[in-house]
Structure 1
Amino acid sequence: MASLSPEQRELTERGAEIIRAGGLVAFPTETVYGLGANALDAEAVKRIYETKGRPSDNPLILHVSSIAMTERLVEINWRARLLMEKFWPGPLSIVLPAKEIVPARTRGGLPTAAVRMPDTAVALALIEKSGLPIAAPSANISGRPSPTDAATVRQEIGDIIPLVIDGGDTRLGLESTVIDMTGEHPVLLRPGGLPKEAVEAALNMEVLLPQDQKIIRRSPGTRYRHYAPSIPLRLTAPHAIPVEAENWAWLGTKIPNGAPRIKIIFKDDAEYAKELFRALRTLEKSGAQIIYAELPEENGIGRALKDRLTRAAGG
C-alpha cells in the first residue's frame, strides 16, 4: 500500500477533525470513493442520506481500521474472523449482528451491520486519526454510477460537502463483495471486488446465494436501481445489436456488429469492471441516445460486473 503524500497527511488530519465534528468527507478506497461520516453519530449519518438522496432503509457499510475496532460494533464468529484475517484490508464487507453502539439509522433499521477494512492508506489514516468507524456509501447522488476519481466526486457533490480527499483513480472500480455471516452458511448478498470463489476456498465451504428478500436487505446496493447513466442502457451480446438501432454506443470486450456512434472496448473483464462506471459517465455525454453493453460470464469478477450492469439497466 502506498504511503501518504504530505498533502494527503494534511487533508486526512483535516478530514478527521470534520468527521469528529459530525461533518462529511469524501475519500478514496480501493473500490470507489466513499462519502464518510461518524458511523456512531446518527445525525452525521443522516447528512449522508440527505446529501445523496439515499433511501433511509438502505444500510451503510461501516469502515474500520482494525479487527479490534470491529469488535466494538458487531458480534464476530470464528468464520467471520477467519475472513477478516485473510482478506482485510480489502474489498470484503461482512454482515454480522450489530451491537447497540451502532445507531439504527446507520444500519437502515436492521439488526445487522456490514463492516469492512478499506485497502488505501488515505482511508485507513482517516479512520485512525478520527478514532471512529466511518459509515460510507459511494460519494455520489444515489442511483448514479459510483465515482472512481476525485474529479467526479467534486462535479457531483463537491459544492455541498466540506472536503474531498484526492487519492487518484481507484484500483478496483467496483464496490466490495458483501457476505452475510450471521448463519451457519455464508450467503453472498452482493458480488464485488473479491470473487465468491476466493471466499469459498478460504472457508472450505460453499457460499450460498440468497433465497429471501429480507436477507438481501442487509446489504447496500441490492434493492434500488443503482449505477444508472442518464441515457438508457441495454444488455446484449455483441452480435445481437438490433439492426434498426441508431445513434448508439457500445461497451464491452468484443467488437459489436453494426456501426456505433462511439465504442469502448476493454481487453478483459477485469478492465471492464475497473472502468465501468467511468465509461458509463463518458458515454452518457457522447451524444448517443442509448448504450448497448456486453454481459460477461458469471464467474470471478464477471459476477460482480454482471450485477452492476443489470442494476444500471434497471434490472
Structure 2
Amino acid sequence: MSQIQPKSINIIPKIIDYLHRGKIVALHTDMVYLLLANGLDSHGCNKIHELKRWNPRKPLTLLSNQQKLPEYASLEKDAQILVNQFPYPISIIIPHRNNLSDIVTAGHNTIFVSCPDDFIHQLVTKCPFPIVAGTASFGEDFRANNAKVAQQLFGDDVSLIVDGGDSKERIRTTLIDCHLPLPTIMNFGLIAYDELRLILPHIELPSHLRK
C-alpha cells in the first residue's frame, strides 16, 4: 500500500531516499501531481513509462535548476534567460549532453526541462542525482489532481504520495522549444505569451497557436 504523507520541506529527505532506492513518488504541484523517479535508475524510469502506458515511449521531463542543469543540458543564451526564471511554471526543450539514458530521452537529442515551483527547486537542490518526471495522468481525462485520485490511479505501484491538497491551477506548464532558430511556444499553459514576451521579446508562436 502506498504511503500518503503531507507535503512539507521536512519530507524532502524521505522523497530522496525513496527515489534513491528505485521507488516511484507521486508529488503535488499546483498544476497536476507528478510521478518522480531517479533519472539514473533504469528500473524507476521504466516504471513511469509502464504506469503511463506509453507505447511508443515518450521523453520524461528532467526537473532541474540553474545550478545543476548545465551538467545534463546545453544552454544557449535564450534558454539560459528562461532557466534564470526558475522556479517558474514553464517547460523548455533544449539539447542534452548524452549522459542520460534513452529511457529518459526516448532517443531524442533534446530533453524537456522544468522547475515549476519552489518545493521542486528545493528538492532538486538537495538531491544528489537527477530527478525525472511524468504527469500522474492518462491523457487529459484521467489526471491526478489530488492524493486520493493518485492512489486510485496508481495504487501500490507508487510507494509514496506527497499530499499537498488539490492541484488548484489544473493546467499544464507553458512549453517553449529553445532548439528552434527562435524560442517558440509550443503549447499554451499557465504562463501567457504576453508575460513571456517581457522576458524574451523575440519569442515566437507557431502557426497553429496564432489567431
TM-score by length of 2: 0.87
Greater strand proportion? 2
Q: What residue number does 2:34 align with?
A: 34
The answer on whether the counterparts of 2:116 and 2:173 sit within 8 Å (CA) in structure 1 is no
1:208–1:7 CA distance, 2 compared to 1 (3 A): closer
Which protein is bigger by CA-based radius of gyration? 1
Q: How many residues align?
A: 207
Distance (whole Å) between structure 2 residues aligned to residue 78 and residue 46 of structure 1 = 33
Pick one of 93, 96, 106 that aligns with 2:91. Answer: 93
CA contact 1:127–1:133 (8 Å) conserved in 2: yes
Higher relative contact order (CA 8 A, sep 6+): 2
Structure 1 residue runs of 4 or more that deviate by more than 6 Å after TM superposition: none
Question: What amino acid is aligned across from residue 75 of structure 1 in structure 2?
Answer: S
Identity %: 25
Three-state SS of the structure 2 residue aligned to 1:68 is: coil
Runs of at least 5 residues in structure 2 that lack an aligned partner in the other structure: none
The Cα of 1:189 is off from its aligned counterpart by 2.0
Question: Are residues 91 and 7 of structure 1, via their aligned partners in 2, closer, same or farther at CA, if it must alter by over 3 Å?
Answer: closer
Aligned counterpart, 1:164 = 161
Q: 1:171: Cα distance to partner?
A: 3.6
Deviation at 1:120, TM superposition (A): 4.1
Q: In the aligned structure 2, how far is the partner of 1:183 from the partner of 1:203?
A: 14
State how far apart, in whole Å, the 1-side matches of 2:59 and 2:141 are: 17
Identify which of 102, 121, 127 aligns with 1:130. Answer: 127
Question: Residue 200 of structure 2: which of 203, 208, 221 is its match?
Answer: 203
Q: Which deviations, in whole Å up to 9, do the C-alpha atoms of 1:174-218 show, x marking residues without a partner? A: 11111110132112222211112222231111413168xxxxxxx
| Contact in 1 for aligned 2:7/2:163 (Cα 8 Å) | no
State the partner residue of 1:282: none
Q: Is the CA contact 2:37–2:45 (under 8 Å) kept in the aligned structure 1? A: yes
* CA RMSD of superposed structures (Å): 2.4
Distance 2:45 2:201 in 1: 37
Normalising by structure 1, what TM-score? 0.60
Unaligned runs of 5+ in 1: 212-297, 304-315
* CA contact 2:186–2:205 (8 Å) conserved in 1: no
Question: What is aligned with 1:274?
Answer: none
Query: Distance between the aligned counterparts of 1:17 and 1:129, measured in 2?
Result: 11
